[in-house]
Structure 1
Amino acid sequence: MFKTVLLFSLILLLNTSNAFASKYSQQGFYDVEHYILENGMNIILKPRHTAKNVSIRLKVDVGHNHFKCGKKETAHYLEHLLFAGTSKHSESELDDLIALHGGNFNASTHSEFTQYKIDINSLFFETGLSVLHEIITDSELSDESIQKTKDIIYREDGGKLNFFRRKLHQNEFIASASKLALNDLLQNASFLCNDIDNISNITRPNITNAFEAYYIPKNMTLSIVGDFKLTDAKKLIEKTMRLIPKSNKPKSKNITIPKRTTSLDSNHIYYGKFDPIVDSESIIGVYFLLPSRNHKDSFVLDILEQYFKTQLFNTIRTDEGLAYAPSADAIFFEQYGVLALTSDSEIEDAEKTLKLIHYVTNELLQGKVKKEKFEEAKLKILIGAASAIEKNADFAEYYAENVFDLINYGKIINYEDTIENVTLNDFKRVAKKYLNASNRVVLISSPTLSYTQFYLLILISLISIIFMVTRIVLKNKKHEDSL
């Protein structure tokens, strides 16, 4: 009897702890089924019967930064090619297979991963998963589709680049202030390129070699959320994804940046070189180097990002009226991150705006942070997190992008709970750790010419041309009269 009561009390205690972990977390959001197939593919399943829909996401650990300069579009190229047709279906037939079953499919290539997306009526879940399996195992990669895909990517990237323009960028006669600053911050990492053409030199062997190296199960995470039974989903996976052969090739390497051997010059300001040529405003930026998304400080850095969003807006726009959209963005990757504090301004106000960014940063470093401002930043994150993930597609993408937690901790870390537990002292400690002057680069991106200067130059040029033409005409007339 005592054991029964004790067991009941323990179950009640555990359920109570979970229920009150965070009032901002969606109930059951972090409860997923995760396992790894024999071939190495990660599987994440979440039955959710709120709509007659299933969202399927396949995350492949290959992106732009896995390739050398001049060939960085290889992952993007592959993404397009896998939709170009298989031995069983043409590109249009693949589209119809999904569309005629109440769905759609798409894909996107990022710096460090590629994601394939299928959303389909739950009655045709099997069709959706079968199509995904087909395109990643049976795409033909024909010469015709390779050339057609190259033309499509050219158009997507704004058209083919001429030789002269490429050379100007390769030799840094043209360079943005942001690129020059990032080169210094990230120690000229291999994925930072001067060459703006990253597709022309991609060959068929480059594509097939990349497919064989990266499109292997151990580089893949399959995340499925929606109206299905776990047993049914597992059976479908057994008939499809489990059949992909295990590969002895190594898993994708993490993208790293060189270790810094010299300190950053915190007083140096990077200016663009003829980029932009003409504009009406300047962009001011202060970039700080951060650790990766999986670092223990990343949650505190999210609060820091939100704090800066509010304080920069209030200081630069509301109080001083110098900018339209000052902002802060913490961008995280596998091995590093960057906090970008940015603001627009009138060209003549660039220096003043930069001083205000430094002012907001220094106030924080000196510990002049009101507790209510800190709590306000936390609350904005918590409320935003509660409403940002609503659809099955949102769930599936979140799970796929957080597979690191499942592999390393056996669960997805409760984001809201962790944010709630961050203290003001944690906040101040992390700010001092990463926001010091030796860990930053500064940039001012101003146009070579303002629009006023540009139009004045055109006017002067027209007047000069008219003057020269008039002079030549008068000279010829005088010559004719003398004859």
Structure 2
Amino acid sequence: MLSIGRTLALLLSLLLCSSVLAADRFKVEGYPLDNGLQLILKPSSERGHVSIRLVVGVGFDQFDCRHKELPHLLEHLLFSGIDDSGEAGLEARMQALGGDWNAYTRDSDTTFVLEVPAANQRAALNLLLAALFNTELSEARIDAAKRVIAHENGEHPAAWQRLLGSAAGDNDATEQLATELGLACAEHDSLDNLNADALERLRSEWYVANNMTLIMVGDLDRRLPAYLERRFGELPPGPMPELRELPESTGKAEAERTLRNSLVGDTAKVHLIFAEPWVGELDHGTWQLLRDYLQWAVYRELRLEHGLAYGPSVERSAYASSSFFSINAEVARGDVDETLQRVRDLLHGLARDGLDADTVERLRNVALARQNWTVQGNTALADYYWSSLGDYEEGRFADPAKQLRQIHTAQLDAALNLLLKQPTYQRVEKPLLGTHGLIACAVGFALLVLLAIGGLVGLLRRRP
């Protein structure tokens, strides 16, 4: 049970809900219950509303390719209904509380997201617990959830796509590269081998108190501490399954590939993708600031100075144990070679001459300002805590602004030079034929038909 001192301290924080407490977004009321469930509570000055995130520490990474969709399938099933009224009845109950909810399965977690009126925060939590632990995983519901996931994941490659070496759906070039390197699954799980036994085992092994974090931000109820101790404190803990070891890159991927994304079209997407190396304790901030710098540099080079691409982008992404840094642009089919050459020249010029210190400082100030304006309001703040759980310790989240202020231009120069020494992969996505190519093929085919007809007519005339 909560100690008297801890209970009084938490109650005092909830009662005060002062502007000072709300202003320091990195300071929260956080503590574990006796069963291991972690609480993160943040009273705010916004009245009448509470944002809730229940994070369960299981996601795609914990399963091999044949079972990758298992946590996603369970997430969908947990909204399928807690009685004979089914999904419609469950949703009607949440609507009656004036709330809204959803859930997301990511690589490392499954998270249930609730936005509710402050007056009904405890009732909404009760309904969430009922959905998590009282939902019957019947065959009919499992089949219905599988159909929804199949629709969400999109179609598998058609025969012509397989023939041309094209991937399915809207997988981007970096994901296709990760597949080549053995870091991502070649195709979405077929779902056929996911059954009720596997789903029940997932729920019993992973949906345990010591694998959950409850985040609540907003106009928190004064009686919330006692309620959480009573309702969430009764959830059973369990022995955690062994974490699955993430695959390492095989290093076996072609340096250059052309990917066919349709049959006919006049535009192409070019990608330069780098394996992102580790640069020390300032790794995340360094790559984010370098990303911002290159985003501006590539935009200025490709759009403003040469008009090759309307919205080029620089992105970071992670797959299994590896991360990637990519430069991407959609261009006219005939501008692919020039675009790639200009990007390569730009990168090597920056590596040779160094980044401009004034531009670095300007972009640093933008990044610092962005950190403030993107976490305004209960919903944004709850999402921030959710995404930053790895930086949480003893009632406080790490301030990313401190890291940004420590990064100097020389460190960005070193990171860029190191990046250019890593394996580099060029990917070009374009249709099999351009419009002119299609017209030429059509004209050629028409000529062949005419020649064939002419030959046949001549042959017929020569016959006696």
- TM-score computed with the length of structure 1 as normaliser: 0.80
- After superposing the two structures, state which structure 1 stretch, 290-299 or 118-127, moved more: 290-299
**Aligned letter for 2:269?**
I
Deviations 1:343-375 (A, max 9, x none): 111122112111222223223322421111111
Selected match of 1:424 from 409, 418, 423: 409
Rounded to whole Å, the distance in 2 between the matches of 1:358 and 1:157 is 34
- Deviation for aligned residue 1:380: 1.9
Helix, strand or coil at the partner of 2:233? helix
Helix, strand or coil at the partner of 1:258? coil
Output aligned runs, 1:186-205, within 5 Å: 187-189=181-183, 192-205=184-197
Output aligned runs, 1:163-178, within 5 Å: 165=159, 169=162, 173-175=165-167, 178=174
Q: Is the 8 A contact 1:59 1:115 kept in 2?
A: yes
Deviations 1:7-46 (A, max 9, x none): xxxxxxxxxxxx9xxxxxx831111112122332222110
Rounded to whole Å, the distance in 1 between the matches of 2:232 and 2:375 is 27
- After superposing the two structures, state which structure 1 stretch, 127-136 or 305-314, moved more: 127-136
**Aligned letter for 1:424?**
T
- Deviation for aligned residue 1:457: 4.3
Helix, strand or coil at the partner of 1:270? strand
Selected match of 1:306 from 292, 300, 304: 292
Structure 1 residue aligned with 2:435: 451
Selected match of 1:269 from 244, 253, 256: 256
Structure 1 residue aligned with 2:365: 379
- Deviation for aligned residue 1:470: 11
Structure 2 residue aligned with 1:219: 211
Name the CA shift for 1:220/1:172 in 2 (closer, same or farther; >3 Å).
farther
**Aligned letter for 2:118?**
S
The alignment status of 1:399 with 2:390, answered yes or no, reads no
Structure 2 residue aligned with 1:100: 96
Q: Is the 8 A contact 2:267 2:331 kept in 1?
A: yes
Rounded to whole Å, the distance in 1 between the matches of 2:450 and 2:189 is 40
Output aligned runs, 1:71-220, within 5 Å: 71-87=67-83, 90-158=86-154, 161=156, 165=159, 169=162, 173-175=165-167, 178-183=174-179, 187-189=181-183, 192-220=184-212
- Deviation for aligned residue 1:177: 5.2
- Deviation for aligned residue 1:458: 5.6
Rounded to whole Å, the distance in 2 between the matches of 1:244 and 1:126 is 16
Structure 1 residue aligned with 2:396: 411
Deviations 1:140-192 (A, max 9, x none): 11111111111222222335x58x749x75x98434754553345xx312xx2
Selected match of 1:40 from 23, 36, 39: 36
Helix, strand or coil at the partner of 2:295? helix
Rounded to whole Å, the distance in 2 between the matches of 1:71 and 1:294 is 34
Structure 2 residue aligned with 1:58: 54
Q: Is the 8 A contact 2:47 2:218 kept in 1?
A: yes
Helix, strand or coil at the partner of 1:313? helix
The alignment status of 1:325 with 2:315, answered yes or no, reads no
Rounded to whole Å, the distance in 1 between the matches of 2:52 and 2:201 is 26
Structure 1 residue aligned with 2:426: 442
Selected match of 1:250 from 241, 245, 249: 241
Structure 1 residue aligned with 2:7: none
Deviations 1:443-471 (A, max 9, x none): 22222112343455467667877998999
Rounded to whole Å, the distance in 2 between the matches of 1:314 and 1:369 is 14
Q: Is the 8 A contact 1:56 1:225 kept in 2?
A: yes
**Aligned letter for 1:241?**
F
Helix, strand or coil at the partner of 2:23? coil
Name the CA shift for 1:313/1:470 in 2 (closer, same or farther; >3 Å).
same
Helix, strand or coil at the partner of 2:272? strand
Name the CA shift for 1:49/1:89 in 2 (closer, same or farther; >3 Å).
farther
Rounded to whole Å, the distance in 2 between the matches of 1:450 and 1:236 is 64
Rounded to whole Å, the distance in 2 between the matches of 1:454 and 1:94 is 53
Q: Mark the runs of 5 or more structure 1 residues left unpaired by the alignment.
A: 1-18, 20-25
Structure 1 residue aligned with 2:25: 29
Rounded to whole Å, the distance in 1 between the matches of 2:446 and 2:36 is 68
- Deviation for aligned residue 1:250: 2.5
Structure 1 runs of 4+ off > 4 angstroms?
Answer: 176-180, 262-265, 291-295, 332-335, 455-472
Two-structure CA RMSD over aligned residues (Å) = 3.5
Q: Is the 8 A contact 2:50 2:118 kept in 1?
A: yes
Q: Mark the runs of 5 or more structure 2 residues left unpaired by the alignment.
A: 1-19
Name the CA shift for 1:201/1:279 in 2 (closer, same or farther; >3 Å).
farther
**Aligned letter for 1:243?**
E
**Aligned letter for 2:271?**
G
Helix, strand or coil at the partner of 1:449? coil
Name the CA shift for 1:333/1:418 in 2 (closer, same or farther; >3 Å).
farther
- Deviation for aligned residue 1:118: 0.7
Selected match of 1:69 from 33, 41, 65: 65
Structure 2 residue aligned with 1:366: 352
